[in-house]
Each structure stands twice: as C-alpha cells, then as structure tokens.
Structure 1
C-alpha cells in the first residue's frame, strides 16, 4: 500500500446535521469538512455529541436532518457493502470468540465469514499479511486474541480494519483502557498509518495532549455544535478548554511543544 500523492481534497463533509434522542437534541446544525490525508480529532466534554457524531459518520445512526458526504457522495445513498469499501472502523468496544486466532480475526476485514468457504485470493493474503506487519502483530498470528494484552488486542482490531484497504480509518477512543505505554504505541501507529501510507484518520479522543501531538486538525464540540476547529496549537488554549470542558487548566510550552497541565 502506497501513500496517495495526489492533490488533497475534502474526504468527508458534514452539512447542517441535526440529531435527537426523543426530545433530547444532541446535534444542532453541525457542519465541518475533513481534509483528505490528515489526522482529524473530534473532542469535547461528555455529552457534547461526539459519540453520536461518530455513529452518524459511520452509518450506525441516521440524521434527522442534514447530510454527510464521502468524497461528494451522500453516505445515506451508499449501501453498507459499498461504504465498507471506502472506510474502515475500529469501535471503542470490541469482542471476539475466545478461541479465534489473530490471523483469522484480521482476515475478517478482508474476507467476511460468509466468504471464507470460497478461500482467499492472493490479493486477500497480501493485504492480510501487510495489515499484520504494519501493526506489528505478525508474530502473534497463530495466537488466540483473547490471550493477548489490551494493547496487542487493539492492534489486532486496527489490523482487521486495515485489511479492508480503505482510504479512511475511523477510530473511536483507540487508547481507552490502555496503560500509558500502549497508548503511546497506538498513537504512534496512527501517525505512521497517516504519514507513511496516506490514510485519512478520523478519531474521537479524550486525552487533550494526545490530540495536540498526534493530530493535524481538531474539531471541538460543545452542546451539539462546533465550538472551535483548526490546528491543535491554535485551538488548544486555556480559554478553549474552559469553554469546552468548564474547567480551568494551564497550557504551557516545553521545548517547543504545547502541553495541557491536567493535574
């Protein structure tokens, strides 16, 4: 898989999006554009609408009003099979059968269970192996996923998504429940996928410092609306943090890098 060197264009556009759970209005005319070939992070306080937005962008929910366009095509007009050819998704919560091996789980991204009986093509084998190599799990290929550490399992789920060979990867809280070592490993992997293979990354994160250092663009939500968006160094300020999270935290610069003082 080689990075796309063509001129960048909008990968995804959210236009005037509204969504409600009953009378509870969650998104209120949300609009933004996500550029191709970039890492875009969506962040905000609990209840701001970021999880709902993620589910709308990945076709797990459907908007009450408004549209989402993927390379100019309304995703509501794309069937799930066609959508899966264009984007891959790693959800926050994932589970698998206790006895499933790493290679078999990764292969589901390339050859769904219903297709297994037909065998895998050479192209399937190539993509499955590449996905395991780039996520550094090839050495675990015959091991049961349930016997791996949390960070290793997360890389298996990312590998399964990569096996689809899509231009866009959605990640919902990819570092949740991981210790700091595995958090950094996953975030470095995300950066590698973007920089070396040209994959557009759209992710939801809680950790502000990870968002600063591993994102090209941040979209901050507040009460269902875009409150701020732009480059991390421009967006993450003490004022912005107060507005989004309702808390006063210091922001400093160390060796040219910005950090939020969370303690």
Structure 2
C-alpha cells in the first residue's frame, strides 16, 4: 500500500505531501491511563503549488495534524511523506531546507533587528559558524522585498506593529527558500485591514513563486476566498477536502461546526453568512 502510494506520487508529480493512515493519541491521565485519540487513521494528500487551508472546530485535530506535518509531533501510527521521503527519518536541517513554518505565537529578542531575524532563515543552508554568502544576502533581500519589509530592515522587531511583525516572520521563513510554507493561523490578533493585506500577500507568493502553502484559518470566508483547496476535520477525521466552490455547503458547515449557516453564491464564489 505504502509503495503504491509513493509510486503514484512520483507518477502524478503534483502531490507534494501525503499523510498515510496517521493516528495520534496520548495517555489520558484523567481516565486511568486510557488512550485519547486525537486523529484516527487519517489519509490525505496536498497538491503541489496550491494553497490548502485547514478548517474545523476547536479540538477537531487540525492543530495536531499541523504539528505532525511539521515534525513537532510524531504519529502514534502511520507515516507522512514529503514526496517519496518519510519525514520521520529526515534530519531536522534537511527538513528545514524543504519546509518553512510560521507558528501562531513567535518571540524575538528585545534588541534583534528585522534584518538579523530574517537572516536566521538561511541557517539550514549554512555550516556551523559560517558567515552569510553573497547568495544568502541576495535571498534575504528578496524575502524582505516580497513581504514589503525592506524599509524596516534596520528596525527592532519589537518596535513593529502586529501586521509588520507577521510579515517579518514570513520573510524569515521565505529566506529558507523552501517548496512548502506552513502558516498556523497567520491572521490571529490582526485587524481586518492587516488580515486582508497579509492574505493577499500569501496569495501572491503562491501565484508568483509557486510556493505550496498549507495554513490554518478560523475565518470561513477568508478560507473560501484565498484557498485552492479546503480541508475540513471533525473528531479526528477528514470530513471534506476539495475546491471550496464544491465542498463548502450549508450541510458541511453544520457537520463541521454544529451550527447551521446559509452559504450563498456571490460573483461565482461561495460566501458563508456568519450570522443566523
């Protein structure tokens, strides 16, 4: 089964990440050492060069899935493949050359500058104690340019607004020059203007540089509007996966979130009416 899956990925050439029969559980100390299952035999794949957004109610397993795919957790059962390689056997440095991650909460030293922070994105490509090469500096400049943070490069990170900081963290991830960018709730704590600007930037990174983007979002309409594919989880299982125009319905919203909301078509796009 696993060998067949790898062969299929190689032949099709468009599935960059594959989750194969993944289960994740942990010991529930409140229930006499019973195992609490968070994800239950999950099978799914992610399309190369697309934006896929994970949605689901709190506790559905999407954060656990995110941490499994980014090597912060290991499956209790099953495997995750980055193309033909099982990520469990990949060294962290090799993984960081292929996958960049921006977490929901990020911290920086009080006096660190934007330029210094973004330069850390080159660490997986450097030897110990190596200085930045000309190529490294060019990539850092590119990351600052595409995130519109070049004018901030000499500022201290902690002096920036929330929207500016989030762009800087994404710039550091982009400096890794990876195939995949993971974003964990990138719009959290931002006002609506910065949310839209950030999502438009993410969409442009995908369209201009063909970076595969996998992110977690809570806003349903943002997920629908800015994604090529939606992945909906409930109770540790995949409930829906596909084009938002096809999979987002009143019924699926009710199944995922337990609330019945209208889904309308407006200018060829689905819109979830988030009031009853």
TM-score (norm: length of structure 2): 0.90
Structure 1 Cα separation of the partners of residues 161 and 261 of structure 2: 33
Give the superposition deviation at 1:98: 1.2
Counterpart-to-counterpart distance in 2, 1:72 and 1:236: 31
Q: How far has the Cα of 1:71 moved from its partner?
A: 1.0
Distance, in Å, in 1 between the alignment partners of 2:261 and 2:108 is: 39
CA distance in 2, matches of 1:181, 1:55: 28
Distance 1:247 1:261 in 2: 11
1:130-209 alignment to 2 at 5 Å? Answer: 130-209=142-221
- Matches of 1:56 and 1:125 in 2, distance apart? 32
Q: 1:52 aligns with which of 32, 54, 64?
A: 64
Alignment check: 8 A CA contact 1:219 1:230 kept: yes
Cα drift, residue 117 of structure 1: 4.7
Rounded to whole Å, the distance in 2 between the matches of 1:196 and 1:154 is: 20
* Deviation of the 1:9 alpha carbon: 1.5
RMSD: 1.3
Instruction: Give 1:250 shift.
Output: 1.1
| Whole-Å separation in 1 of the counterparts to 2:271 and 2:66 | 26
Q: How does 1:29-108 map to 2 (within 5 A)?
A: 29-108=41-120
Q: Which of 237, 257, 260 is the equivalent residue of 2:269? A: 257
| 1:19 equivalent in alignment to 2:24 | yes
What is the Cα deviation at residue 173 of structure 1? 0.5
Cα drift, residue 258 of structure 1: 1.7
The one-character-per-residue Cα deviations of 1:154-182 (angstroms, maximum 9, x if unpaired) are 00000000000001100110101110001
Q: Note the C-alpha offset of 1:252.
A: 1.2
Count of residues in Structure 1 that have an aligned counterpart in Structure 2 = 256
Kindly indicate whether the alpha-carbon contact (under 8 Å) linking 1:173 and 1:206 is maintained by their aligned counterparts in 2: yes
Deviations 1:89-112 (A, max 9, x none): 000110101111100000001137
Tell me what 2:14 maps to.
9
Gaps of 5+ in 2: 1-11, 28-34
Question: Displacement, 1:116?
Answer: 8.2
State whether residues 8 and 37 of structure 1, in contact with CA within 8 Å, keep that contact through their aligned partners in structure 2: no
Secondary structure of the residue aligned to 1:81 is helix
Shift of 1:115: 6.0
Query: Does 2:242 correspond to 1:234?
Result: no
Structure-1-length-normalised TM-score: 0.95
